[in-house]
Chains A and B, each alone.
Chain A
């Protein structure tokens, strides 16, 4: 919440007026369906700047659809979506291409361009922005160093393991330091050790650059780890938040039957007496 001073017309009084900063992501009564079947129905939520919203839920509950809606890759049937206060539903597609400079996205299967090397994949957005070669090389190496994959710079996606591809996808998403990050199942199909590495990178991005994020995952342990750990810059590793604390900027949202079954902090989730949530957590 930003606060500004406002002086009246005659200059006699000064009042502190609270000016609301727009939410980074805001869904207002959003509904969408495919082939006549509703997938999301009347979804409303918002994520403030710097917040991370973790989307949990069974397969087919519309988690990935929400990310695509947030990036205007698909349009809702009803409702309004605002990103940093801009209504992306009314934005022409050509303007949206420019607006996406503020948004980084990773896809379920990485979606790396298979005919381009790791360097060119990561550099893709900057090449499109006609940035000079020297800057691109420096930023590509920086991004790859962030995901600890600088050695793979000349490799092609086919030569990388699943975990490495996800890390390259993260590097590609963060190279321009977007204000909003959308992670679609970054740990899906990966072994536990690689999954932890990916979650650590997501946490590092959250805590070091304080970007807003929506993260889709099937794994409860990902949500628990992100909520109960923080990234320590001096040790360059994640650590548990002392005193069994939880990250105040991490919100968990559980989707079920086209709607939101739960939204709140990890502690609220654990305290929830909703039978579905209790059963979901027990699985």
Chain B
């Protein structure tokens, strides 16, 4: 494919993605609103992702405590393990890992579901029946992903800190009170704010990318497979890239 054609295609894709994202957001203020679809998606995305998010959070906190305590012990600072685990979990690992897990599970799910509907003309049928697919299919997915990822991240943060505490007390010989004291003492509101702002952006990325690749699927079942893979890859890369940008902004604003 000539470079000019390739560039044109990429610019067109960005334009279509921006339009879909804009419409998905502005539809929140336009009737009709599909409450039932919103709750169904919230259940699928939120409750459905709970086991993997809990396990990921718990074991990440645990391994973080394990690895950091070994290094910190060399400097006689093993006691600050709690601080390191809680700050890492709340500011970075909780939001990013939860988002990556939800992205793997839900961005792919959205792309394959909407992609199958697209190739079997169900999306066209919906439009022909007088229903806006963006309102009925995309907006509920975007809203429920943003809201549920916010709460999933909180659960992941809590379980990660708890996992770190469990490993620290049972395997590293730290006192529970000392661990939790350190975990709490050095935590500041900007840290919590950063950890809670990130999932809002990440949720938006997961849902809009998943829906965009689903809605733009072409080429039968092979196309559905391609869209599913692309949705996971693109959303994961965007999560990590936007994590860097948000972190830098927060450091710029709050100085930590």
Measured CB to CB, the residues of A under 8 A from B are 68, 71, 73, 93-94, 97-98, 100-101, 103, 105, 107-109, 111-114, 124-125, 128-130, 172
The 9 A-B residue pairs with the shortest CB-CB distance, nearest first, are: A111-B125, A111-B121, A105-B128, A100-B130, A107-B121, A125-B129, A97-B130, A128-B131, A111-B122
> 1/0 contact trace for B101-138 toward A, CB 8 Å?
00000000000000000001110111111111000000
The reply on B48 being an interface residue by CB < 8 A is no
Residues in B whose Cβ lies below 8 Å from that of A108: 121
Q: Is B219 on the interface with A (CB-CB < 8 A)?
A: no
Docked complex Cα distance between A108 and B121 (Å): 9
A-B contact sample (13 more), CB < 8 A, given A94-B30, A97-B127 = A73-B128, A97-B132, A100-B127, A100-B128, A100-B129, A101-B130, A105-B125, A111-B125, A112-B125, A113-B125, A113-B126, A125-B129, A128-B130
Q: How many pairs, one residue from A and one from B, have CB atoms within 8 Å of each other in the complex?
A: 52
Query: Which residues of A are found within 8 Å of B132, using beta-carbon distances?
Result: 93-94, 97
Closest A residue, CB atoms, query B129:
A125
Of listed A94, A113, A172, residue having the most chain B CB within 10 A: A113
Question: Could you say which residues of chain A place their CB within 8 Å of the CB of B125?
Answer: 105, 107, 111-113
Residues of B within 8 A of A98 (CB): 130
CB pair B128 A71 closer than 8 Å: yes
Q: Quick one: which of B32, B120, B124, B129 contacts A172, CB cutoff 8 A?
A: B129
* Cβ–Cβ < 8 Å partners of A129 in chain B: 130
Cα–Cα, bound, A71→B131 (Å): 13
Residues of A within 8 A of B130 (CB): 97-98, 100-101, 125, 128-129
* A residues in contact with B122, CB < 8 Å: 111-114
Q: How far is the CA of A172 from the CA of B32 in the complex (A)?
A: 21
Interface of A is mostly: mixed
CA distance A124 to B131 in the complex (A): 9
A39 to chain B, nearest CB (A): 16
Q: In the complex, how many residues of chain B place their beta carbon closer than 8 angstroms to a beta carbon of chain A?
A: 14
Counting chain A CB atoms within 10 Å of each CB, the highest count among B32, B122, B132 belongs to B122
Q: How far apart are A170's CB and chain B's nearest CB, in angstroms?
A: 13
> Given the interface contacts A97-B131, A100-B129, does A111 sit within 8 Å of B120 by beta carbon?
yes
Q: Which of B121, B128, B130, B131 has the most CB of A within 10 A?
A: B128
Q: Which residues of A contact B32 (CB under 8 A)?
A: 128, 130
Residues of A within 8 A of B128 (CB): 71, 73, 100, 103, 105, 107
What residues of chain B lie closer than 8 Å to A113, measured between beta carbons? 122, 125-126
- Which residues in B have their C-beta under 8 angstroms from that of A125? 129-131
Query: Would you give 10 A-B contacts (Cβ < 8 Å), ordered by A?
Result: A73-B128, A94-B30, A97-B127, A97-B130, A100-B129, A108-B121, A111-B125, A113-B126, A125-B129, A128-B130
Residues 127-170 of B, flagged 1 when their CB comes within 8 A of A and 0 if not, give 11111100000000000000000000000000000000000000
In the assembled complex, the Cα of A61 lies from the Cα of B30 at a distance in Å of 39
Give the docked Cα–Cα distance between A100 and B125 (Å): 11
Closest residue of chain B to A108 (Cβ to Cβ) is: B121
Name the CB-closest residue of A to B125.
A111
Q: Which residues of A contact B124 (CB under 8 A)?
A: 68, 73, 107, 111
Query: Once the chains are docked, how many angstroms separate the CA of A110 from the CA of B132?
Result: 19
A114 to B122, CA, bound (A): 9
Within 8 Å CB of A111, what residues of B? Answer: 120-122, 124-125
How far does the alpha carbon of A94 sit from the alpha carbon of B30 in the complex, in Å?
A: 10
Which B residues are CB-close (under 8 A) to A100?
Answer: 127-130
Q: A158–B210 Cα gap in the complex (Å)?
A: 26
Nearest CB of chain A from residue B34's CB, rounded to whole Å: 10
Residues of chain A lying within 8 A (CB to CB) of residue B126: 113
Q: Are B129 and A109 in contact (CB under 8 A)?
A: no
A114 to B131, CA, bound (A): 17
Nearest-CB residue, chain A, relative to B119: A109
Q: Tell me if A109 and B120 are in contact (CB < 8 A).
A: yes
Chain B residues near A71 (CB, 8 Å)?
128
Whole-angstrom CA separation of A51 from B128 in the bound complex: 21
Measured between beta carbons, the chain B residues less than 8 angstroms from A107 are: 121, 124-125, 128
A73 to B196, CA, bound (A): 41
- C-alpha spacing A109/B121, complex, angstroms: 8
Which residue of chain B is the closest to A93 with respect to CB atoms? Answer: B132
| A73 CA to B128 CA, complexed, in Å | 7
Bound: A109/B124 CA distance, A: 12
Residues on the B chain within 8 Å of A97, using CB: 127, 130-132
Which residues does chain B contribute within 8 Å of A73, judged by CB atoms?
124, 127-128
Complex: how many Å from CA A93 to CA B121?
A: 18
Interface string of B16-37 (1 = CB under 8 A from A): 0000000000000010100000
Closest chain-A Cβ to B126's Cβ sits at a distance in Å of 8
- Please, which residues of chain B bring their CB within 8 A of the CB of A105? 125, 128
Closest A residue to B131 using CB positions = A128
Closest Cβ of chain A: how far from B121's Cβ, in Å?
Answer: 4
Which residue of the partner chain B has the closest CB to A116? Answer: B122
